[in-house]
Structure 1
Amino acid sequence: MARQLDEQIVARYPVGQRLRVLDVGMGQGTQALRLARAGHNVTGVEQDAEMIAAAREALSREPEGIQSRVRIVQGDGHQTGVHFLPGSFDIVLCHGVLMYVEEPDALLAGLARMLAPGGLLSLLVRNAEALAMRPGLSGDWQGAIDAFDSDTYRNRIGVDARADRLDALSATLAGIAAPLQAWYGVRVFTDTLRDGEPLPAEWDFDALLTAEERAGRTDPYRRVAALLHLCGVRD
């Protein structure tokens, strides 16, 4: 997904321009630190105290110049209008957040208002049209049958979550003046692997990345990806 995001950034901004990035639901700060290392100014919003502590610990190990480019705000993504002025950011990331938001439209509208004209809104969501893939590939046939007509699922840490459909999100983005410009599939072939699980020794990691990258851009494969990466651009 990092390659996809970088591709969108390069396509829209001059090389070397220092961008203002808002990372909503920054977690442990992986994406925020990566973008700060690339020279951008990043503000991370996170409500979980443990995640914030982990992000601050990771940031403390970075050179001072990178540390100075990262700001961490404890809060909820719905509160961006409290902390920031409209149009304050060139890029807004919301990765792995919408699945825990029951009604995401208000959150998305608030995030779009944070974007300057031409700004990029990057979303990573669970793909509702592929919820049967993980249980089916794992041999859980009843789980696959139950998933066909569902927009909810139980994730790997036992939390009930929600999935989104491409057409519905595309309509939402158009309605908040950040219409969809590009979308990708993420985890087409590897969703049965658990997070942090080591890859089998015989696997060719570079070939795996190449296959996933190509599948994530190609129909029909990207439509059955576990996750969808959507990129909207502010009118």
Structure 2
Amino acid sequence: MVARQLDEQIVGRFPVGKRLRVLDVGMGQGTQALRLARAGHQVTGLEQDATMVAVARESLAGEPEGIRKRMRIIEGDGRDTGVHFLPGSFDVVLCHGVLMYVEEPDPLLAGLARMLAPGGLLSLLVRNGDALAIRPGLSGDWSGALAAFDTVSYLPHSRTDSNGGTPIRPGLDVRADRLKDLTSTLAGIGAPLHAWYGVRVFTDTAADGAKAPADVETLLAVEEKAGRTDPYRGVAALLHLCGVRG
């Protein structure tokens, strides 16, 4: 779902066939980064978890030489992009499933915006702080639902993220962000919000490890439609925001 939304934004922002310089911050096991490298883009993956880096490198080693040359992997923290790269070095910066682990995200986001060339695209995938009561409420966890109102504080979360199905790091609590706050932050760092989507509007309440339904294509079509349509997208478990560097 996020990949399709990202492709839509890339096509809308850049000439067809343009080979983009992409930075994937917190790339996890590298699924999204590899997908973009296979599409012909020059991709840099930045990840601080050594286990994830090893998995990504193993996956990359099995790719054809042309793809291996288009992708590099750096073990490091997304808050240190200024150490590794010059400002304006990338056309697209991805930060998917990362902000939930960062207590103060504004400095990280400002650093990522500096990495963008003019007209560059910043793609964020975050937990939706305006919908934290939905999942516990629908599952009958009334005390959990009540506690989730009016908060974006650290809350337990055991599901996988959307960066290629990478498991949420065990033993960590995660936070959420509100659309209004991120809209203001993106404007303040010179990459105002261009488009946003909901992710997991209906399917977030499915049991972990549940079997995919027989009509999975229809399910995906429903999720994609809901993720673009008000008021449904506003109660999605995750938000996908796309900002554009002025």
Q: Read off the aligned partner of 2:128 and give its amino acid letter.
A: N
Residue 205, structure 1, aligned to residue 205, structure 2: no
Q: SS at the partner of 1:42?
A: strand
Kindly state the Cα deviation for residue 48 of structure 1 after the two structures are TM-superposed. 0.4
2 CA distance for matches of 1:38 and 1:104?
Answer: 30
Structure 1 counterpart of 2:4: 3
2 CA distance for matches of 1:14 and 1:195?
Answer: 40
Specify whether residues 194 and 123 from structure 1 end up closer, same or farther in structure 2 by C-alpha distance, changes over 3 A only.
Answer: farther
Kindly state the Cα deviation for residue 196 of structure 1 after the two structures are TM-superposed. 4.7
Residues 152-171 of structure 1: matches in 2 within 5 Å? Answer: 152=153, 153-156=155-158, 157-171=170-184
Structure 2 counterpart of 1:124: 125
Kindly state the Cα deviation for residue 194 of structure 1 after the two structures are TM-superposed. 4.9
Residue 186, structure 1, aligned to residue 199, structure 2: yes
Q: Read off the aligned partner of 2:108 and give its amino acid letter.
A: L
* Most deviating of 184-193 and 91-100: 184-193
2 CA distance for matches of 1:194 and 1:28?
Answer: 23
2 CA distance for matches of 1:33 and 1:192?
Answer: 29
Q: Normalising by structure 1, what TM-score?
A: 0.97
1 CA distance for matches of 2:4 and 2:93?
Answer: 16
2 CA distance for matches of 1:126 and 1:149?
Answer: 14
Pairwise CA RMSD: 1.0
Q: SS at the partner of 1:164?
A: coil
Q: Normalising by structure 2, what TM-score?
A: 0.92
CA displacement 1:71-90 (0-9 Å, x = unmatched): 00110001000000000000
Q: Read off the aligned partner of 1:40 and give its amino acid letter.
A: H
1 CA distance for matches of 2:46 and 2:206?
Answer: 28
Structure 1 segments, 4+ long, off by >6 Å, are: none
2 CA distance for matches of 1:55 and 1:119?
Answer: 25
1 CA distance for matches of 2:96 and 2:138?
Answer: 25
Kindly state the Cα deviation for residue 159 of structure 1 after the two structures are TM-superposed. 2.2
Q: SS at the partner of 2:130?
A: helix
2 CA distance for matches of 1:64 and 1:192?
Answer: 41
Q: SS at the partner of 1:218?
A: coil
Kindly state the Cα deviation for residue 185 of structure 1 after the two structures are TM-superposed. 0.2
Q: SS at the partner of 1:130?
A: coil
Structure 1 counterpart of 2:62: 61
1 CA distance for matches of 2:234 and 2:126?
Answer: 13
Select 1:227's aligned residue among 204, 215, 238: 238
Q: SS at the partner of 2:205?
A: coil
1 CA distance for matches of 2:207 and 2:113?
Answer: 32
Between the two proteins, what is the percent identity of the paired residues? 76
Kindly state the Cα deviation for residue 158 of structure 1 after the two structures are TM-superposed. 4.6
Runs of 5+ unmatched residues, structure 1:
none
Runs of 5+ unmatched residues, structure 2:
159-169
Kindly state the Cα deviation for residue 198 of structure 1 after the two structures are TM-superposed. 2.4
Kindly state the Cα deviation for residue 199 of structure 1 after the two structures are TM-superposed. 1.7
Q: How many residues align?
A: 233
CA displacement 1:107-141 (0-9 Å, x = unmatched): 00000000000000000000000000111111111
Q: SS at the partner of 1:68?
A: helix
Structure 2 counterpart of 1:100: 101
Kindly state the Cα deviation for residue 15 of structure 1 after the two structures are TM-superposed. 1.2
Q: SS at the partner of 1:191?
A: helix
